[in-house]
Structure 1
């Protein structure tokens, strides 16, 4: 037992030496804790989320999409409510009424006359044209044409020439015996009959010097050259001085002398044959043409060396539906 204390006394300095660092650390801890008791408490450090960076297979950072901005919470409308203000009403501007559209221009006046152009190489003048036989022998000159009530040529009056004007006489031949070559008076009219005795129907008939046929001439006909043309009311239009015939021996127009011999406004026009009408007058006929004075003035003049412009009354415009409905009622 006595031997134990000396051993402990020998070991104590070693224990003290080995425990010295522990004692020093304990003393420092106590000192620090004592200082902390007298200092103000410190705020905890803010917690920051760690940014996680993603790497690809090669070790390179992968771009990440930016986080969407946080949606702000709507403010409380009750606390932020503004005072109510009435919106101003829009100002009503009264626009002036647009002016009415201008009235449409009046329709052009209807034409007074209708015209038809006939070239000179399409017709043959009748009056004073030579009449020849097949052999080319001249027998006389054409002086007139006889037409029936339908306007169809019936006979031609030829002045057979005598010697130096002695023995001249007028005879009429059936119209169907003549052939026409267009070209004015320069081309002769052909009397297409054989030489010798003619059949009774084709034989010429004597005509008086006045142009009126002897007994036996067909009544209800009219000699065209020098015939007076009237309107249906009896007023005078003019006098026929020539007839224009086409190659088919059909009359196409008449040449009218307007105004008479002593009238300073005397002139000639061509009137379309289709515009003529024939009405009974005693035992013969009278020629009618419904052309007013204004229409006659609007007609172009006739010239022997220019194309023929034949005139006729303008066609009356068609009746409007309203007027026709009123007429039907």
Structure 2
């Protein structure tokens, strides 16, 4: 047999065996898996919530726009209508009860001012008109000027409604 004939014979054998293998694969049934499959976990959003896991619905309170307003940044006036500064912070105790207000007092445009703390009960909140309401402090300018300055991480001295200085009782 010549070399060309042998090449044709080799190609025929290789192609023939490849065709026979592919036909056999088409006719054989697919392999059956004998181990049970575990279903994939459902997405977190599809996990049903049982009643013991369900949180109760939150309570809802509706406050009219003219009945309440934030206090931070609001101006504070004395009973004699003197400028006493602005409320810059609110002091609460560990139970969440409002105890005092921090007022940025004195100075001009923030220069030379200092923070003092006044008892929350020394403040009187007037009617809110045009998104502004009056906050009056039951102390004189001289009483507030005599109060020690508030500094973070130090004991807080609260100026009470009667003008006396009172240390804020802290819970150990």
- Normalized against structure 2, the TM-score is what? 0.53
Correspondence for 2:156: 308
1:249 partner SS: coil
Q: Is the 8 A contact 1:220 1:285 kept in 2?
A: no
Query: In structure 1, what is the equivalent of residue 91 of structure 2?
Result: 244
Indicate the residue corresponding to 2:170 in structure 1: none
Distance 1:222-1:234 versus aligned 2 partners, 3 A rule: farther
Q: Give the aligned partner of residue 296 of structure 1.
A: 144
> Which residue is equivalent to 1:286?
134
Say which SS state the counterpart of residue 296 (structure 1) adopts. Answer: helix
Residue number among 67, 72, 75 corresponding to 1:220 in the alignment = 67
How far does residue 199 in structure 1 lie from its aligned partner after superposition? Answer: 4.0
Displacement after TM superposition at 1:300 (Å): 0.5
Give a deviation string over 1:88-110, Cα, whole Å, max 9, x none: xxxxxxxxxxxxxxxxxxxxxxx
CA deviation after TM superposition for structure 1 residue 260, in Å = 5.1
Q: Which has the larger radius of gyration?
A: 1
Residue in structure 1 matched with residue 120 of structure 2 by the alignment? 273
Counting matched residue pairs gives 111
Question: Superposition pairs for residues 168-183 of structure 1, below 5 Å?
Answer: none
* Correspondence list, 1:113-262, <5 A: 198-199=57-58, 201=60, 217-259=64-106, 262=109
Task: Kindly provide the CA deviation profile for residues 5-29 of structure 1, in whole angstroms up to 9, marking residues without a partner as x.
Answer: xxxxxxxxxxxxxxxxxxxxxxxxx
Q: Superposed, which structure 2 residues align to 1:88-103 within 5 Å?
A: none
Partners in 1 of 2:149 and 2:54 — Cα distance? 42
Q: Matches of 2:96 and 2:104 in 1, distance apart? A: 23
Cα contact 1:240–1:256 (8 A) shared by 2 = yes
Length-normalised TM-score, structure 1? 0.30
Work out whether residues 241 and 255 of structure 1, in 8 Å CA contact, stay in contact via their aligned partners in 2: yes
Listed one character per residue, the Cα deviations across residues 258-306 of structure 1 (whole Å, up to 9, x for unaligned) are: 1356354211111111111112142663211032222122100001010
TM-aligned CA deviation for residue 249 of structure 1: 1.8
For the 8 Å contact 2:78–2:141, the answer to whether it is kept is no
The 1:232–1:264 alpha-carbon spacing in structure 2 relative to 1, beyond 3 Å, is: same
